[in-house]
Structure 1
Amino acid sequence: MGVPSAIDITRVGSSGILPVINTAIAHKDAGIGMIGAGIVHPPFACFEKAIFGWCERYGV
């Protein structure tokens, strides 16, 4: 479920601006509500590894 979305790794790499990821976890039983929520600031190394992996896979 959810909305398909993507983060452009090339824009993150070139700008150095990291995305802020807003996340939440809903309870497995309907009507209970959320059991956790928060904001995540992913490390730049995640995007570096993604760019290197993408370049390796596509021969760039």
Structure 2
Amino acid sequence: MAYAISDECISCGACADGCPVGAISEGDGKYEINADECISCGACADTCPVGAPAEA
């Protein structure tokens, strides 16, 4: 199951930097995860200071 980023996102970019497959990009007001590219590894959740990424 792919991860998704909640509205708690503060747009710091830590999740994108931590994603090993580059599935995260800056969206409109918060970062977004491409579900087709996400490998559900949890690296984004581990690097996020506010815990915005979570399994969808």
Instruction: Report the TM-score, using the length of structure 1 for normalisation.
Output: 0.21
Larger radius of gyration: 1
**Structure with more relative contact order (C-alpha pairs < 8 Å, separation 6 or more):** 2
